[in-house]
Structure 1
């Protein structure tokens, strides 16, 4: 029999309201005691007595046994989640940045205090990828995980490619729909996708990686030239995080725009939808598809975690707590497309091989193989010169760098 949950929810934004909308349609053994909000003057759709601005009203209430954290401030989220776990309360969170930056400590806190932190809603919205990595693939050898993890950037790329909108118009639409923040750099710069990838990799491979060690290059330098190139080649541009096991000792991770062929699952993942491709040794290739942005899709994932806590569900972190032979590395080679103006950037990247090169007026690009370490070293140069980089190869071709 399920236990009664008394819940305190931090945040009543898009996801918080979406969660509430779903909960009131269900007959579940739970009660929302209080919402903690930042702005007491903002007009709310629920009774005023349900809201407070004092976090300790929830965190110090012994009757509240479950905390749901749905705020945008990663530092404040960390303090909330840490105090809740150490106070004996179970937690559900959708804060991918906070979880990625503190995952090792959060795992230790759960073990020390016998509490549970669930965060399905933090990775790919409505797609249940964490639970599948944790349970279904617990004994599976995973060759790679890749996909579209950010609905905001995918919405923008879909609009510019499919409807011919310019980048700024598509971004404004994404912001108006609540898919992108006022400052969109986390989404379009690949940071959001990177945080989600780090969380997924911890469950897939048992490797916990610091965010600053993982390369992320986004779509903010996208130009009409890339769209012209993609349409001529019959491919699409998607922002794709990648994790690949290179051998029995190394796993690599990066986030880059990718040229996606029509034969690939991700080609037809458009607008705010997400898609995750898992390449496994025994199950072969499997594809997960669903909405990755919006209050109700993410709210449904949060509710799934809340419902699991009624039966004392916990992540076991089986691969994280196992024998740690697998290590993260950036010492890999991969094929990239580089659209550039500054010839010095091409020299600095020191291509190991060049497959194609094109000059025409203002449009210059080169396709070839580079070391990921060189991309990392030149990341600021790429940004400053407004160059555009895309992964132009196959996952099977990503390999350890040769000296």
Structure 2
């Protein structure tokens, strides 16, 4: 087992969680040498010798061989991780936005430097999805991965459906409990789940898909009307991220609210928990469940990556190495519920077929078939409108 000397960037929720679990863990032979933070005047319950405000104190220290990058700023995280790898340090990262944007480069950097970059904590909190995809599902038999990948939005939807709260009240409560940021857009608009889906897809099927090519719609426009519609049909709405094989050589991805029934594995995934359903050719469906938000669950996931580094573990990216990479496509037909107010909003959507059309005094909705390719083209425009869209599970 390799002796580790750790430098941490960031001392927010995850950084503090890692610090705590490191003190209590006996599973890894590690010394914490430095914690780099940005704001000098912020009060912290830390021994002063550990604290630094200079990033180079970690980068230039030859004794530090593992860097834990746990900051919010994706651009800054990219520079730190890149420099650390080039300086011969192994890295653990929780920054899913940075990884989704630069994963191709990071894979190449690991080859060039011989160092390891692990990031299981970036994808599903405490669920070890990436290492399982690398080791257990290291074959060409996967059909789809479907999951609740964002604990904050799931907590909000749980409060709406189980407790009968409206969206604004549920969001405020999630912020007060620390599950959602003061600016919650990344969570409730589906960006966080999208970045995680891009990372998961690379390990499940091989290719790194640019996030901007993937359809993404969040829960921030959900109303009591949409909730009532779902409840009348004994359904719940979950923010779902999905990658699926649409043909032998093609995959498609999307993030959107989805109606789920009681038979669906993720129906009972509540509060800040995540749930992932892995479907394969010969083993049908398998389900992974765990906390997707919070200091200790995520801090424990980071510690698991650090422990793996002590055993010289590296991702092998086996799907890229041993199999032909599938093509990305948005040619997939979805059954969609669209609640809108203005006819001009409906006119944006070029439905191939409409099954149901309702017009009330305050709300209107249609249910119909539409190609994902069409939704991608209007993605930016529909987010500006007061409408809500949800996919039917098929």
Q: TM-score range by the shorter chain?
A: over 0.9
Partners of 1:141 and 1:282 within 8 A in 2:
yes
The equivalent of 1:89 in structure 2 is 89
The equivalent of 1:25 in structure 2 is 24
The equivalent of 1:8 in structure 2 is 7
Aligned residues between the structures? 393
Q: What secondary structure sits across from 2:356 in the alignment? A: strand
The equivalent of 1:399 in structure 2 is none
Q: What secondary structure sits across from 1:386 in the alignment? A: coil
The equivalent of 2:288 in structure 1 is 288
The equivalent of 1:370 in structure 2 is 370
> Any unmatched runs of 5+ in structure 2?
none
Partners of 2:160 and 2:167 within 8 A in 1:
yes
Moved more, 159-168 or 99-108: 159-168
Cα drift, residue 385 of structure 1: 2.2
**What is the TM-score when the length of structure 2 is the normalising length?**
0.98
Once the two structures are superposed, what CA deviation does each residue of 1:49-82 show, in whole Å capped at 9, x if it has no partner?
A: 1100100000010000000000000000000000
Moved more, 314-323 or 255-264: 314-323
Partners of 1:59 and 1:83 within 8 A in 2:
yes
CA–CA distance in 2 between the matches of 1:202 and 1:343?
40
The equivalent of 2:69 in structure 1 is 69
CA–CA distance in 1 between the matches of 2:393 and 2:311?
45
CA–CA distance in 1 between the matches of 2:381 and 2:72?
30
CA–CA distance in 1 between the matches of 2:16 and 2:365?
46
Cα drift, residue 325 of structure 1: 4.2
Structure 1 moving runs of 4+ over 4 Å: none
Cα drift, residue 320 of structure 1: 1.8
> Any unmatched runs of 5+ in structure 1?
395-403
Cα drift, residue 207 of structure 1: 1.1
CA–CA distance in 2 between the matches of 1:362 and 1:384?
19
CA–CA distance in 2 between the matches of 1:92 and 1:352?
46
Cα drift, residue 140 of structure 1: 4.3
CA–CA distance in 2 between the matches of 1:348 and 1:153?
27
Q: How does 1:305-316 map to 2 (within 5 A)?
A: 305-316=305-316
Partners of 2:134 and 2:203 within 8 A in 1:
yes
Cα drift, residue 237 of structure 1: 0.5
The equivalent of 1:112 in structure 2 is 112
Moved more, 317-326 or 48-57: 317-326
Q: How does 1:217-236 map to 2 (within 5 A)?
A: 217-236=217-236
The equivalent of 1:398 in structure 2 is none
Partners of 1:149 and 1:240 within 8 A in 2:
yes
Moved more, 143-152 or 175-184: 175-184
The equivalent of 2:209 in structure 1 is 209
Q: What secondary structure sits across from 1:319 in the alignment? A: helix
**What is the TM-score when the length of structure 1 is the normalising length?**
0.96
Partners of 1:197 and 1:243 within 8 A in 2:
yes
Q: What secondary structure sits across from 1:43 in the alignment? A: coil
The equivalent of 2:300 in structure 1 is 300
CA–CA distance in 1 between the matches of 2:129 and 2:155?
20
Once the two structures are superposed, what CA deviation does each residue of 1:185-212 show, in whole Å capped at 9, x if it has no partner?
A: 1000000000000000000000111111
Partners of 2:355 and 2:368 within 8 A in 1:
yes
Q: What secondary structure sits across from 2:321 in the alignment? A: coil
CA–CA distance in 2 between the matches of 1:229 and 1:198?
31
